[in-house]
């Protein structure tokens, strides 16, 4: 659920205030204790001072007391004029009768006497006064008298007040500074928190919300539908073959392209829709404003159209398409997890239909997706369990009408599902990477069969093996192939590697390097499914190829379809001009064969000439052909 910052702020303020009040109270308590301590210590210092004064007066009054001389005693007391805190003083004889007393100017209190209670007669001591009696002035062991001082505490209170004022000012100042520091620290923390929050919830490359934020927003959108009704459309968008961009132009350009993709996609959405980047080349769009499933579908179509124009990158212009899956809450899915799963399933469905497309989720897809997972799991075991077979389909030379090559085609004899065709499992194997061990196995099986045929005298027969894109990106491919040829004794010139035109054009530089290496070893290269990709003459000239196989979609409607006629004849002419042999795939009728023959096609392959068959069946055909050849030779 998204956070509610509105609630957090007043709470934080209350916490601030409470902290401040507590700190203030603590300071006040400390100040009070210090003040009390100050009062006590100042008072005792004052009393000590007064005692010293009284003692000095007493020492100086010994003579006056001995001779009972009030004038001399009075003189001694008059020195107190300069003492700011003494209000009144008296020198008393041994009977506690005043010999002399002193009264500070302006003081109207009673003269001090030795006995505190007596001193209080008719006079209330104020909090501002203290009585100090200096007991007993002695001489030769005889009590002469005593000195009594009444001292003002006014100065003490003034100092204490000053101290309290200073303490309060220091406390208030400290609190103010602390408050400012705390406020500043809070601001820094809030700013850092906001930045961390941004980093945790957004994708640094595109600036879009990331997967984390996506989950929260989707949950929030669904909760709104639960409360108020309506629907939420979820689109999962996966860029097709984006890896190629990264591999060929580098990750930096890949990131730049992702940024442009994000901008274009955002451009076609409404402000109420949310787009997030949830993976490397995956985006998710939450459509909250969609009022019908058709509206969501039209957004998906718009997103696909938005990517149609090329993306400028450095000196290149790159194209990228996307496959999109759509699932609608609550129509297609009852909860968040199901919605995500279904949008994903629909996206995979769109991809498997040939990419650059979108599909709305349908329950059937789930079954298909499950089947796909099962397929992948059982495919992993197929090799060990020896369930794979290689079939061979003949290729006939039009000139000699003889089998000059066979194409190795993989078959899977599943113990429960029966014979599975490669179009069903090869894409799954490609995606999971299983195609690498599978492809190697086919190569070995095909070469072993070729070796058996060679042993029977058919050394001229070429063997064509399909190579997948994943195999081509394998480091040790060339070494693996050479090792297999070496082990089986098949001549490199007998092996034809078929690479589809689309794969060939995906990474021209890399493929030119690979094919040149293979060619240098004497292996033949054939371009499969020719006409379905986007190769140009300029590019074709760069590849060291021996053969082009015209895709069967151009053969099917021959010779009736004018366009196919034109394409086929053009491909044959172009290939021959490059010195490349032409094979026509999917020849099913005599009319197709006749047309291809007439226009100079070199080889044909198709059900009309022979379906893919297990090795021993092809051996029978080859033997028959061999016998026919023997029979046609003039006898000696």
Binding site for ligand C2E (CB under 6 A): 393, 409-410, 421-423, 426, 439, 442, 466-468, 498, 528-529, 552, 585-588, 605-607, 612
The span from the CA of 87 to the CA of 108, in Å, is 9
Among 466, 488, 568, 605, binds Mg ion (CB under 5 A): 466
By a kind-dependent CB cut-off of 5 to 8 A, residue 612 interacts, out of ligand C2E, Mg ion, none, with ligand C2E
Cβ nearer to ligand C2E, comparing 102 with 554: 554
Cα distance between residue 306 and residue 380, in whole Å:
39
In angstroms, how far is the first alpha carbon of the chain from the final one? 94
Per partner kind, with CB cut-offs from 5 to 8 A, the member of Mg ion, ligand C2E, none near residue 607 is ligand C2E
Stretch that binds Mg ion, among 203-211, 220-228, 249-257, 527-535 (CB under 5 A): 527-535
Q: Name which of 281 and 498 has its Cβ closer to ligand C2E.
A: 498
Distance CA 146, CA 14 (A): 64
Are 184 and 118 in contact, with CB atoms under 8 Å apart? no
Token pair belonging to 608: 């009309």
d(CA 462, CA 409): 14
Nearer to ligand C2E, 281 or 529 (CB): 529
Residue number, 134 or 449, with CB nearest to ligand C2E: 449
Interaction with Mg ion in 293-312: which residues (CB under 5 A)? none
At its nearest, how many Å lie between ligand C2E and the CB of residue 435?
A: 6
> Residue 586 contacts by C-beta under 8 Å, 6 or more apart in sequence?
551, 552, 553, 555, 556, 605, 606, 607
Minimal distance, residue 560 CB to ligand C2E, in Å: 17
Residues 6+ positions from 437 with CB-CB distance below 8 Å: 383
Q: Are 467 and 408 in contact (CB under 8 A)?
A: no
What region, left, alpha or beta, does residue 195 occupy, with left being phi > 0 and alpha being psi -120 to 50 degrees? alpha
CA angle 358, 362, 368 (to 5 degrees): 95
Q: Which residue is nearest to ligand C2E (CB)?
A: 606
Task: Tell me the angle at which helices 477-488 and 435-455 cross, rounded to the nearest 10 degrees.
Answer: 30
Q: Please give the helix or strand (H or E) that residue 613 lies within, else none.
A: strand 613-614
Nearer CB in complex with ligand C2E: 92/464: 464
* 452-483 residues labelled b (16+ CB within 10 A) or e (exposed): ebbeeebeebbbbbbbbbbbbeeeebeebbee
Q: What does 422 bind: Mg ion, ligand C2E, none (CB cut-off 5 to 8 Å by kind)?
A: ligand C2E
Residue 573 structure tokens: 């002419």
Pick out residues in 218-257 that bind Mg ion (CB under 5 A): none
Task: Please report how close the Cβ of residue 443 comes to ligand C2E at its closest, in angstroms.
Answer: 8
Part in contact with Mg ion (CB under 5 A); list of ranges 28-36, 56-64, 125-133, 583-591: 583-591
Judged by beta carbon distances under 5 to 8 A according to partner kind, the member of ligand C2E, Mg ion, none in contact with residue 586 is: ligand C2E
Query: Rounded to whole angstroms, how far apart are CA atoms 488 and 504?
Result: 28
Binders in 470-509 for Mg ion, by CB under 5 A = 498
- Using CB under 5 A as the binding rule, whether residue 529 contacts Mg ion is answered as yes
3-state secondary structure 148-187: EEEEECHHHHHHHHHHHHHHHHHHHHHHHHHHHHHHHHHH
Tell me how far, at minimum, the Cβ of 529 lies from Mg ion, in Å: 4
Whose Cβ is closer to ligand C2E: residue 119's or residue 442's?
442
Nearest residue to 88 via CA among 127, 119, 59 = 119
Q: 442 contacts which partner out of ligand C2E, Mg ion, none, CB within 5 to 8 A by kind?
A: ligand C2E
Q: Is 54:134 a contact under the CB 8 Å cutoff?
A: yes
Segment interacting with Mg ion, rule: CB under 5 A, options 380-388, 563-571, 580-588, 612-620: 580-588
Q: Which does 568 bind (CB under 5 to 8 A by kind): Mg ion, ligand C2E, none?
A: none
- Kindly state the helix (H) or strand (E) to which residue 511 belongs, with its residue range: helix 508-520
Comparison of 58 and 586: residue with beta carbon closer to ligand C2E: 586
User: Closer CB to Mg ion, residue 73 or residue 443?
Assistant: 443
**Which one of ligand C2E, Mg ion, none interacts with residue 423, CB within 5 to 8 A by kind?**
ligand C2E
Decide whether 133 or 429 has the Cβ nearer to ligand C2E.
429
Place of tokens 């669904």: 222
Among 203, 273, 281, 528, binds Mg ion (CB under 5 A): 528
Dist. CA 50–CA 48, nearest whole Å: 5
Contact of residue 409 among ligand C2E, Mg ion, none (CB under 5-8 Å per partner type): ligand C2E
Supply the minimum distance, in Å, between the C-beta of residue 602 and ligand C2E: 17
Which of the choices ligand C2E, Mg ion, none does residue 439 contact, using the CB cut-off of 5 to 8 A by kind? Answer: ligand C2E
Least distance (Å) from Mg ion to the CB of residue 391? Answer: 12
Smallest distance from ligand C2E to CB 566, Å: 21
* Interface region with Mg ion, contact rule CB under 5 A, candidates 154-162, 302-310, 459-467, 605-613: 459-467
Which of 303/426 has CB closer to ligand C2E?
426
Q: Dihedral angle at the C-alpha atoms of 435, 437, 439, 440, nearest 10 degrees?
A: 160
DSSP state string for 422-464:
HHHHHHHHHHHTTHHHHHHHHHHHHHHHHHHHHHTT--S-EEE
Least distance from ligand C2E to the Cβ atom of residue 445, Å: 9
Q: Which is nearer to ligand C2E, 53 or 605 (CB)?
A: 605
Comparing CB distances to ligand C2E, the nearer of 358 and 595 is 595
DSSP string, 322-383: EEEEEEEETTT-SSHHHHHHHHHHHHHHHHHTTSS-EEE--HHHHHHHHHHHHHHHHHHHHT
Is residue 434 within 8 A of residue 376, CB to CB? The reply is: yes
64 Cβ contact partners less than 8 Å away, ≥ 6 residues apart: 70, 72, 73, 76, 91, 99, 100
Residue 506 interaction partner, one of ligand C2E, Mg ion, none, beta carbon < 5-8 Å per kind: none
- Could you tell which of ligand C2E, Mg ion, none binds residue 27, using a CB distance below 5 to 8 A set by kind? none
Q: Which is nearer to ligand C2E, 75 or 588 (CB)?
A: 588
Joined together, the tokens standing for residue 628 give 């026919």
Min dist CB 496 to ligand C2E, Å, is 11
Query: What residue ranges bind Mg ion (CB under 5 A)?
Result: 466, 498, 528-529, 585
């Amino acid at each position: 659920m998204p956070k509610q910052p509105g609630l957090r702020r007043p709470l934080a303020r209350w916490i601030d205030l409470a902290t401040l009040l507590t700190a203030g109270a603590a300071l006040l308590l400390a100040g009070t204790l210090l003040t009390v301590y100050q009062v006590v210590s100042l008072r005792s210092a004052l009393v000590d001072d007064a005692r010293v004064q009284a003692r000095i007066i007493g020492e100086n009054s010994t003579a006056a007391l001995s001779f009972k001389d009030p004038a001399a005693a009075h003189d001694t007391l008059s020195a107190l004029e300069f003492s700011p805190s003494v209000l009144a003083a008296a020198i008393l004889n041994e009977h506690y009768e005043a010999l002399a007393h002193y009264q500070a100017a302006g003081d109207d209190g009673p003269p001090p006497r030795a006995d505190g209670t007596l001193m209080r007669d008719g006079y209330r001591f104020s909090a501002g006064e203290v009585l100090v009696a200096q007991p007993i002035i002695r001489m030769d062991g005889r009590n002469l008298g005593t000195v009594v001082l009444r001292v003002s505490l006014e100065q003490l209170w003034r100092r204490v007040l000053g101290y309290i004022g200073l303490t309060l000012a220091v406390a208030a100042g400290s609190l103010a500074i602390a408050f400012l520091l705390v406020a500043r620290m809070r601001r820094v923390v809030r700013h850092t928190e906001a930045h961390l929050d941004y980093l945790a919830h957004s994708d640094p490359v595109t600036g879009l919300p990331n997967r984390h934020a996506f989950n929260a927003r989707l949950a929030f959108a669904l909760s709104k539908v639960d409360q108020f009704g309506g629907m939420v459309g979820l689109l999962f968008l996966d860029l097709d073959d984006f890896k190629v961009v990264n591999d060929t132009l580098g990750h930096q350009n890949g990131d730049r392209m992702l940024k442009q993709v994000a901008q274009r996609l955002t451009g076609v959405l409404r402000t109420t829709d949310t787009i997030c980047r949830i993976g490397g080349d995956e985006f998710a769009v939450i459509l909250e404003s969609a009022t019908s499933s058709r509206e969501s579908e039209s957004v998906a179509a718009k997103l696909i159209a938005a990517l149609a124009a090329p993306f400028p990158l450095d000196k290149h212009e790159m194209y990228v398409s996307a496959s999109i899956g759509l699932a609608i809450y609550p129509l297609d899915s009852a909860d968040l997890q199901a919605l995500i799963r279904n949008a994903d399933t629909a996206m995979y469905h769109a991809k498997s239909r040939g990419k650059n497309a979108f599909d709305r989720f349908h329950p059937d897809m789930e079954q298909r997706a499950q089947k796909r997972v099962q397929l992948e799991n059982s495919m992993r075991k197929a090799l060990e369990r020896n369930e794979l077979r290689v079939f061979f389909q003949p290729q006939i030379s039009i000139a000699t009408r003889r089998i000059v090559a066979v194409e190795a085609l993989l078959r899977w004899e599943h113990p429960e599902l029966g014979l599975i065709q490669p179009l069903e499992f090869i894409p799954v194997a490609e995606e999971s990477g299983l195609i690498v061990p599978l492809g190697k196995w086919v190569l070995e099986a095909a070469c072993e069969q070729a070796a058996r045929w060679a042993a029977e005298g058919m050394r001229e027969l070429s063997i064509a093996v399909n190579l997948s894109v994943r195999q081509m990106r394998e480091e040790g491919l060339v070494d693996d192939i050479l090792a297999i040829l070496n082990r089986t004794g098949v001549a490199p010139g007998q092996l034809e590697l078929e690479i589809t035109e689309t794969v060939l054009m995906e990474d021209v530089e890399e493929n030119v390097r690979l094919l040149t290496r293979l060619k240098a070893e004497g292996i033949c290269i054939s371009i499969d499914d020719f006409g379905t990709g986007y190769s140009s003459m300029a590019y074709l000239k760069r590849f060291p190829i021996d053969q082009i196989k015209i895709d069967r979609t151009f053969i099917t409607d021959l010779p009736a379809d004018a366009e196919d006629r034109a394409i086929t004849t053009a491909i044959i002419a172009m290939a021959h001009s490059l010195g490349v042999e032409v094979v026509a795939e999917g020849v099913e009728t005599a009319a197709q064969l006749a047309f291809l023959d007439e226009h100079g096609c070199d080889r044909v392959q198709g059900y009309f000439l022979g379906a893919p068959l297990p090795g021993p069946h092809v051996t029978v055909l080859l033997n028959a052909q061999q016998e026919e050849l023997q029979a046609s030779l003039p006898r000696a």
